[in-house]
Every structure is written in C-alpha cells, then in structure tokens.
Amino acid sequence: MGILENKRRARLFYKYLSRVYDRVNPFVWNEEMRAEALDLLDLEPGSTVLDVGCGTGFGTAGLLEHVDHVHALDQSPHQLEQAYRKFGKTGPVSFHLGDAERLPFATNTFDVVWSSGSIEYWPQPVRTLREFRRVLVPGGQVLVVGPNNPENTVLRKLANAIMLFYDVEEADRMFAAAGFEDVEHVRMGPSYEPKVAITTVGRAPE
C-alpha cells in the first residue's frame, strides 16, 4: 500500500496541495481528457449524479455542462473550500464532506457515479467500488479515472510506493469483484503522455 493510501496522510497532503491544485492539475488531467471521459456516459439534464473525490471541482464543472445538478463529495475540507469559491455553497452543486468508503446516501440513489483522480488514494478500492454500486440505481453507470501503471519497472515501483497505480488487467479485476458489468477501459492523457490515465466505465446490474 502506498504512502498516500492512508486517509490521514492524504488529507494532510491536500491541505497544502489545495493551494496550487488548479495550477498543477491541467498537466495530468485537462479539459480534453475530461470531455473524452464525459462522452462515455449517458447523461441527461435530469440525471442524478455523484462526483466522488470532487476536489476543487474540475470534474464537477464538466458534469454541469451536461446535467442540472451534481452532488460532490470529498474528504478534504481544504479542497472543498476551493470548490466553494467556484460554485458557492448553494446552487447547482450540493457539497458533502465525507468518505468514499462510506457514502452518506441511500441505496439506489444515483444514475451516475463519477470519480476522477481519487481511486489512487483509496485504501480498499474494491470496497469503495462496491459502495459506488450500492448507491447506483440498477443499470446506473460508474466512471472512474485513475493513474496508469508506468511501463518502466523502476518508475512503477516508485509510483506504487506513493499511491495506487494499476493497469487494465487490475482494473478488470477490481470492477468485476465489485459486481459491475459491461466494463470498458480507455487509456488517455495529455499530448506529452497519452497513456497516463485509465478511464473505466461500467454498469450496475439491472
């Protein structure tokens, strides 16, 4: 388990990263990648959507281009403070301070659960994905963006010592263990590193 796959350490990390997050984030997760990911979803204005690990709201902003309202959850109060400045505390986004492993929502609540740049910090990814399945309506979609494993062996060991990096085979295993169906993966990234991320989309059983 990587150093940052610990909730306390991750919160401390984002206490400081939140100050520069919006300047750093576009180098690894940009608007083109976000648009490509959004195209994988069946979104309508009235869709009920949850953004898990919303951070400062980059993914949330993209979702709001397609739906009227988003529920956005993060465990970092410092990241949420940055998001409040963009969207306000009331309006098209309902913010929640909470844990991805224990979502504060009823079963069968959302049409879509989106999570970008969060899975790498989850201590128990399969448990968290099962929680996503719980809050999805039957046939609802999940979309998770995470970091692709580096091809270089040394870089891979270093990366995984910090947080979770994984490949398509591992993504298949995690999503199958969580009970998702029709699982597909798309590698994506900025022009200088076109395979830096894995975007996985799947469906909760009907």
| CA 205 to chain centroid | 20
Query: What pLDDT sits at residue 159?
Result: 61
Q: What is the CATH number of the domain that holds 79?
A: 3.40.50.150
Query: What pLDDT sits at residue 60?
Result: 98
Question: Is 106 inside any structural domain?
Answer: yes
pLDDT of 162 strictly over 80: no
The model's pTM is 0.92
Tally of structural domains, the chain: 1
Question: Is 1 inside any structural domain?
Answer: no
> Six-digit token pair at 73?
């959850």
Question: Which whole number is the average pLDDT over 148-159?
Answer: 71
> Six-digit token pair at 81?
């403070």
Query: What pLDDT sits at residue 131?
Result: 98
Question: Is 29 inside any structural domain?
Answer: yes
Domain range for 146: 7-203
What's the maximum distance between 2 C-alpha atoms anywhere in the chain?
A: 46
Query: What pLDDT sits at residue 77?
Result: 95
Condensed to tens digits (0 to 9), the pLDDT of residues 67-79 reads 999 999 999 999 9
Question: Which whole number is the average pLDDT over 8-20?
Answer: 79
CB 197 within 8 A of CB 144: no
